[in-house]
């Protein structure tokens, strides 16, 4: 069936429940006007289908519940910038599906089983909906030769048995998922978790870490909001727990994915403890017995820094001992030191041993 170079005017064009047979279906370079094009429940059998370089001004193009068959389905270099295109619950066979370098207002593959290679390197779309899909092969979203502009990307409910080739920065994943208005924090967290597992499988370990961070951030915020929603009085302990996780797990170490961030946190934590133990003897009756009372301020500061270092790193030579309140501070300091060293070790090993 050949519609090559055909032009359709405004209005409704319906191929609903049409059986196209086993031959090639050619809609290449077709110009569709404003309106609605309906291929719902159409049967394409096993012939190749091509909408390459076709255009539509504005409207809707629907392939809901259509049987695409086992032939190749090509939608390359097509221009539908103001058109909503939906393949919801469409049945794709064994053929290759390509939307390479095409533009849409939105493209939905919701609730589809994607059994073969799908080229979704779109030149531009506001929404790419892959929710509730089952991925059995390869989905390609990695830009190559041109920029892939996808404003909103929805992976919610996806069952990933295959691989998604996608780039965290080039595809702007963080923004394209967090911008979603119709998904909950739990759903966003699950999408980032799916991508985290996917990046691990494809060897993109830096992208895996970035996806893991966003997964944990959305998860923590979801736990906070759900807890307060169930019982408003629980905010008394939910907020402190959330803030503790935010500062210790996120800000100080990016959930043990950044050894450099942890190392910087180790330094500033150590510096804060030095200042606290340097100032306390001037405020209350407490001291470190190896620091002379008549020593200069600089000597007291450096000796305090030395004592903090051997306590923080749990070396403890025994030449210095705290007196008074500083004993309790030193105990807390030792725990903090052990914790921060373990935190750094985990973050460092995570980066190196993969």
Q: pLDDT digits over 271-287, tens only?
A: 999 999 999 999 898 88
Among 106, 113, 32, smallest CA distance to 68 is for: 113
- Residue with structure tokens 């105990």? 331
| φ, ψ at 103 (rounded to 5°) | -125, 140
- Calpha distance 235→14 (Å, rounded): 55
End-to-end, the C-alpha distance of the chain in Å comes to 53
The per-residue pLDDT for 317 is 74
Q: pLDDT digits over 308-353, tens only?
A: 999 998 887 777 888 888 889 989 999 999 999 999 999 999 888 8
Which residues touch 338 (CB under 8 Å, ≥6 apart)? Answer: 314
At 293, the pLDDT band (50, 70, 90 cuts) reads confident
The per-residue pLDDT for 270 is 94
The per-residue pLDDT for 262 is 96
Tokens of 56: 């539509």
- Residue with structure tokens 């992976």? 155
Question: Can you give the pTM of this predicted structure?
Answer: 0.88
Contacts of 107-111 with C-beta under 8 Å, sequence gap 24+, read 108/84, 109/133, 110/86
CA 278 to each of CA 65, 305, 334: distance values in angstroms, whole numbers, following the listed order: 73, 8, 17
Residue 4 per-residue DSSP state: T
Which residues touch 90 (CB under 8 Å, ≥6 apart)? Answer: 63, 64, 65, 66, 67, 68, 109, 112
Q: pLDDT digits over 176-221, tens only?
A: 999 999 999 999 999 999 999 999 999 999 999 999 999 999 999 9
pLDDT at 155 over 80: yes
Q: Is 267 exposed, middle or buried (0-12, 13-18, 19+ CB in 10 A)?
A: exposed
Q: What is the mean pLDDT of the chain?
A: 93
pLDDT at 294 over 90: no
The per-residue pLDDT for 291 is 83
Collapse the DSSP code of 222 into the 3-class scheme (helix H, G, I; strand E, B; otherwise coil) and give the result: helix
The per-residue pLDDT for 271 is 95
Residue 29 in contact with residue 4, Cβ under 8 Å?
Answer: yes
């Amino acid at each position: 069936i050949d519609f090559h170079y055909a032009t359709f005017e405004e209005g409704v064009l319906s191929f609903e429940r049409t059986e196209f047979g086993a031959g090639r279906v050619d809609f290449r370079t077709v110009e569709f006007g404003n309106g609605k094009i309906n291929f719902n429940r159409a049967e394409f059998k096993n012939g190749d289908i091509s909408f390459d370089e076709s255009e539509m001004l504005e409207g809707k193009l629907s392939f809901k519940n259509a049987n695409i068959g086992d032939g190749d389905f090509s939608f390359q270099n097509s221009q539908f910038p103001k058109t909503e295109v939906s393949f919801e619950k469409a049945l794709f066979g064994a053929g290759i599906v390509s939307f390479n370098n095409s533009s849409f207002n939105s493209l939905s593959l919701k609730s589809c089983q994607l059994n073969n290679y799908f080229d979704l390197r779109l030149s531009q779309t506001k929404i790419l909906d892959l929710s509730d899909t089952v991925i059995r092969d390869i989905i390609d979203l990695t830009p190559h030769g041109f920029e892939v502009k996808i404003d909103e990307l929805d992976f919610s409910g996806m069952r990933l048995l295959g691989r998604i080739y996608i780039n965290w920065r080039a595809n702007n994943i963080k923004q394209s998922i967090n911008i979603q208005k119709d998904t909950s924090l739990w759903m966003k967290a699950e999408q980032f978790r799916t991508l985290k597992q996917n990046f691990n499988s494809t060897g993109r370990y830096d992208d895996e870490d970035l996806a893991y961070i966003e997964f944990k951030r959305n998860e923590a915020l979801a736990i906070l909001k759900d807890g307060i929603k169930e019982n408003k009085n629980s905010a008394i302990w939910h907020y402190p727990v959330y803030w503790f996780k935010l500062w210790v797990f996120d800000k100080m170490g990016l959930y043990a994915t950044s050894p450099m961030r942890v190392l910087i946190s180790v330094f500033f934590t150590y510096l804060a403890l030095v200042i606290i133990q340097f100032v306390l003897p001037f405020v209350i009756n407490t001291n470190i017995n190896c620091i002379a009372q008549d020593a200069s301020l600089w000597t007291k500061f450096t000796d305090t820094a030395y004592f903090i270092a051997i306590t923080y790193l749990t070396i403890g030579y025994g030449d210095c001992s705290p007196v008074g309140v500083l004993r309790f501070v030193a105990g807390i300091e030792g725990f903090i030191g052990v914790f921060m060293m373990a935190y750094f070790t985990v973050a460092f090993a995570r980066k190196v041993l993969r």
